[in-house]
Each structure stands twice: as C-alpha cells, then as structure tokens.
A and B are shown apart, each in its own frame.
Chain A
Amino acid sequence: DSGVTQTPKHLITATGQRVTLRCSPRSGDLSVYWYQQSLDQGLQFLIQYYNGEERAKGNILERFSAQQFPDLHSELNLSSLELGDSALYFCASSADLNTGELFFGEGSRLTVL
C-alpha cells in the first residue's frame, strides 16, 4: 500500500460528459502528480502541484484541468470527453519537488463509450 488513495477506481461514461477524479496523497507529501497511462502512449505526465500551486505542466489537454486544495488532496477534471480519453489515470505524490521517487495510487480506470 503506497498510502496514495484514488477514487473512483472505475468510471464508465459517455462522450461529451465531464468527470472528476480524486486523489489523496501520502500523509505529509506536498507534491502531487497526475499521469495518464494508455496502451499506445505509456505513462504520460499531465500536471504537478506542490503545496497548492501548479508547478509543472505536461501534455495536458485544454479540456482537462486540475487543482490541489488546502488539505493537499487533488482533483483532475476531464470535460467534453472523447473516446480517446479512455485510459488509466494515476495520481502520485512525493515529499518534495526534487525527487523522482514517486508513490503512485492504484489508478482510476476511465472508459468513455
């Protein structure tokens, strides 16, 4: 158990809809990362937050947004969903910014029909 909690574990929705994925980092970790994993793209970095502030952005679509709240949990919002958004979405946390040792949650599997 990594200590990172993600909900929901599975989500099935239709094209055009909006969903919110939730992540609670390990106790004490200030940094939260969101990654997307699909069969054809591997693990792709989306966005990073540190202590409530956005710190780095990867290949995140404009239809996607995220935030980190004062209690350090984070949410990833995916809107105007397309079939190609079907993937596993992982949240990871770390104690600080300058580390590649990330602790991953078990992921949220999104299926868009």
Chain B
Amino acid sequence: EDQVTQSPEALRLQEGESSSLNCSYTVSGLRGLFWYRQDPGKGPEFLFTLYSAGEEKEKERLKATLTKKESFLHITAPKPEDSATYLCAATLSGGSYIPTFGRGTSLIVHP
C-alpha cells in the first residue's frame, strides 16, 4: 500500500535554530511530491511541488528537496510565524492523480 511517512511528529525550535523535516514515501512510481502548511483551524496551504530526484524549491526560509526515497523541508533561521503543521503528500504515476498525505510535523518556534 502506498504510504507517506513524516518525521518527527513534533519539533520545537528556538528562533534562528535551523532544522529539517523528513518525508519518506513508498509510493510506486512517484509522480509528484508536495508540501503544504496548515495553521490551527485552517485548511492546508500549498507550498511546493517536486517532480524528480535532485530537484529543489525555495520560498523565504523554506527549502524543499527530493531524493528517490524521501523529501526534506529545510527551515533556515525560523521565526515564530513559521510555527504550523507541515504536511507532505505524494501522487503516483498512472491512475488518478490524488495526493496521499502524511500525518504532518507540528513545528513550534519559540521566540
């Protein structure tokens, strides 16, 4: 069964303390890997799409990378406003293009 696993489940950082979130997948024939941000009481907000190993995307303090088996979301010098749950999703080639989501990493950045 196709699966998307995220780690850690929760992460607490001090402001300015860089770190990485992991997303590993067992999706057969990966078609796309997606990162979303979800704030409490809100719907997920799209951040990045990655299609092939070696690809990288950046947005402000966030950088997403992709290998053949996993993706990382690097957070450089985070600020308290980066606190949120970060969700990873993957779609497989063939069939319907429906993202399968991981359970997310809850990030708290302390000032």
A residues adjacent to B (C-beta < 8 A): 2, 4, 33, 35, 42-45, 48, 55-56, 58, 90, 92, 97-107
Q: Mark B39-53, 1 if CB is under 8 A from A, else 0.
A: 001111110010000
B101 near A105 with CB under 8 A, answer no
* B interface residues with partner A (beta carbon < 8 Å): 31-32, 34, 41-46, 49, 87, 89, 91, 96-104
Of the A-B pairs whose beta carbons lie under 8 Å apart in the complex, a sample of 21, sorted by A's number, is A33-B98, A43-B44, A45-B99, A48-B96, A48-B98, A55-B96, A58-B98, A90-B43, A90-B44, A92-B43, A99-B97, A100-B97, A100-B99, A101-B46, A102-B46, A103-B46, A104-B44, A105-B43, A107-B41, A107-B42, A107-B43
- CA of A95 to CA of B88, assembled, Å: 20
CB distance from B21 to the nearest CB of A (A): 15
B96 touches A56 (CB 8 A): yes
In contact, B101 and A101 (Cβ under 8 angstroms) = no
A42 interface neighbour in B31, B34, B101, Cβ under 8 Å: B101
